[in-house]
């Protein structure tokens, strides 16, 4: 399979507001045609990255490179990008058609061309019958689709989406996630999507860039980040991982032992040269997902320990058991059953997880 070429790259980009730094020496490449999500909590710098690329803010140092050219000082109106904002930013006095065609109008395109391309853009977002309505006559999801059509109509090289689904209710947000991804595949345009929602990122992105305090902590596929977090922050932020602190012990091939309050645990270190070479006694965490933890069976000699069920939390398709083991609070996730969980609060049980279903991260 041919590797996609980079469309845009941030090279040693930093941003400060006065004496307050908000981005620290960021290096990030965006591949042509991909759906890249920048994920992080409030204050992580994710929206600042989007605003720098879009030209809404100026870099303090470093370069933004498009097709080999430094566009860091290029005016916003010359950058081949369009932005979809959380609040839609539609003109309330203009019809849907006029909003969508605005970018072509200010470029002085012929009226017939504008009419044709507006119709095509509205058909793309399934709003062809709403051309004469005004934003106030639309639902939140429809307004968001109008904003997307307006962003796409000028055929940008990159579409920037700044938490565009945050104001929508849960079910509509899920529908729009599927819709955005399908549109992106259809038009084959690069999308940079900013969000603080991990599930949103998992469901939509080709790759995810996780940020914390103005720095990139990990960049990879949703599968990589879900199952192979590279640091404590990503392990805690990205999902509901169980983290058990301890000290590294000897390694054995693709596994390494860690001594914890649960006893000696064995975890995968595949693809982790830093964990393989770290000295014995180094502080670290064993990381394993709630669905990897299970009731121990005969023959489970590694990673076996006892615990007691403190409470059960029904979450629709799954049920999460909160378990106390030697003072460590762990989560065990099981598929929900119509007859209810087989576990009971107060129940003592032996637990285990497979070494291949776990990972180590340094403290």
Place of tokens 């992105």: 205
User: Are residues 220 and 255 located together in one domain of the fold?
Assistant: no
Q: Does 215 share its domain with 245? A: no
Considering the domain architecture, whether residues 251 and 221 belong to the same structural domain is answered as no
Q: Are residues 317 and 342 in the same domain?
A: yes
Query: Distance (Å, rounded) from C-alpha 331 to C-alpha 164?
Result: 32
Kindly state whether residue 236 falls inside one of the protein's structural domains: no
Q: Residues in the chain, how many?
A: 363
At 318 the pLDDT is 93
Do 336 and 261 share a structural domain? Answer: yes
Distance CA 184, CA 169 (A): 22
Structural domain harbouring 328: 241-362
- For residues 188-208, b (16+ Cβ closer than 10 Å) or e, as one string? ebbbbbbbbbbebbbebbbbb
Return all residues near 26 (Cβ < 8 A) that are at least 6 apart: 10, 12, 13, 14, 45, 49, 62, 214, 215, 216
Residues 268, 139 share a domain: no
Cα–Cα distance for residue pair 179/119, rounded to 1 Å: 18
Q: Walk along the chain (363 residues) and give the pLDDT tens digit of each residue.
A: 445 689 999 999 999 999 999 999 999 999 999 999 999 999 999 999 999 999 999 999 999 999 999 999 999 989 999 988 877 788 999 999 999 999 889 888 999 999 999 999 899 888 899 999 999 999 888 888 898 899 899 889 999 999 888 877 888 888 888 888 998 998 899 999 999 989 899 989 999 999 999 999 999 999 999 999 999 999 998 878 999 999 999 998 889 999 999 999 999 999 889 999 999 999 999 999 999 999 999 888 899 999 999 999 998 899 999 999 999 999 999 999 898 888 899 999 999 999 999 999 998
Is residue 302 classed exposed, middle or buried when 0-12, 13-18 and 19+ CB atoms within 10 A define those classes? middle
Instruction: Indicate whether 232 belongs to any domain.
Output: no
Domain containing residue 313: CATH number: 2.40.50.140
- In order of 13, 74, 112, 245, the CA distances from 104 in angstroms are 32, 20, 11, 57
Give the separation between CA 331 and CA 322, rounded to whole angstroms.
5
- Does one domain contain both 270 and 303? yes
Q: Note the pTM of the prediction, 2 decimals.
A: 0.89
Alpha-carbon distance values, 28 to 12, 65, 69 (Å): 9, 10, 15
Coil, strand or helix at 210: strand
Q: Are residues 262 and 141 in the same domain?
A: no
- Res 4: pLDDT: 62
Is 118 in the same domain as 220? yes
* E strand segments, 229-295: 242-252, 255-260, 263-268, 283-288, 294-295
Claim to verify: residue 86 and residue 212 sit in the same structural domain: yes
Is residue 307 assigned to a domain?
Answer: yes
Based on the number of CB atoms within 10 Å of its own CB, is 328 exposed (0-12), middle (13-18) or buried (19 or more)? Answer: middle
* pLDDT confidence of residue 88: 77
Total domains in the fold of the chain? 2
Helix (H) or strand (E) holding 144: helix 140-152
Q: What tokens appear for 321 in the block?
A: 């058991």
The pLDDT of residue 134 is 94
170-174 LR contacts (CB < 8 Å, sep 24+)? 172/139, 172/140, 172/141, 173/200
3-state secondary structure of 133: coil
Structure tokens at 154: 């000028």
The token pair at 292 is 């990897």
Residue 267 lies in a domain: yes
Q: Closest by alpha carbon to 209, among 358, 356, 47, 71? A: 47
CATH code of residue 186: 3.40.50.300
What local confidence, expressed as pLDDT, does residue 255 receive? 94
């Amino acid at each position: 399979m041919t590797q996609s070429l980079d469309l845009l790259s941030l090279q040693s980009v930093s941003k400060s507001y006065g004496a307050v730094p908000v981005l620290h020496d960021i290096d990030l490449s965006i591949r042509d045609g991909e759906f890249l999500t920048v994920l992080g909590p409030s204050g992580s710098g994710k929206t600042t990255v989007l605003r720098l690329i879009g030209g809404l803010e100026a870099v303090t140092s470093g370069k933004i490179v498009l097709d080999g050219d430094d566009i860091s000082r290029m005016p916003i109106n010359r950058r081949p990008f369009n932005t979809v904002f959380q609040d839609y930013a539609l003109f309330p006095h203009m019809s849907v058609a006029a909003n969508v065609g605005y970018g072509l109008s200010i470029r002085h395109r012929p009226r017939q061309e504008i009419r044709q391309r507006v119709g095509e853009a509205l058909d793309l977002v399934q709003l062809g019958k709403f051309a004469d309505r005004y934003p106030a006559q639309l639902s939140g999801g429809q307004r968001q689709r109008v904003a997307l059509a307006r962003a796409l109509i000028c055929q940008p090289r990159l579409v920037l989406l700044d938490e565009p689904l945050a104001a929508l209710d849960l079910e509509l947000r899920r529908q729009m996630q599927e819709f955005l991804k399908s549109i992106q595949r259809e038009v084959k345009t690069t999308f940079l999507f900013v969000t603080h929602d991990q599930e949103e990122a998992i469901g939509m992105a080709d790759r995810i860039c996780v940020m914390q305090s103005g720095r990139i902590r990990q960049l990879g596929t949703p599968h990589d980040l879900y199952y192979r977090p590279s640091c404590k922050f990503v392990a805690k932020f990205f999902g509901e991982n169980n983290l058990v602190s301890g000290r590294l012990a000897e390694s054995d091939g693709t596994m390494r032992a860690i001594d914890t309050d649960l006893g000696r645990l064995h975890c995968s270190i595949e693809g982790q040269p830093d964990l393989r070479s770290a000295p014995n006694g180094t502080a670290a965490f064993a990381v394993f997902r709630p669905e990897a933890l299970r009731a121990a069976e005969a023959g489970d000699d590694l990673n076996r320990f006892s615990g007691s069920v403190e409470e059960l939390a029904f979450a629709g398709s799954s049920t999460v058991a909160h378990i106390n083991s030697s003072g460590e609070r762990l989560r065990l996730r099981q598929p929900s059953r119509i007859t209810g969980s087989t576990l009971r609060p107060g129940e003592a049980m032996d637990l285990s997880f497979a070494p291949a279903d776990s990972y180590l991260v340094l403290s």
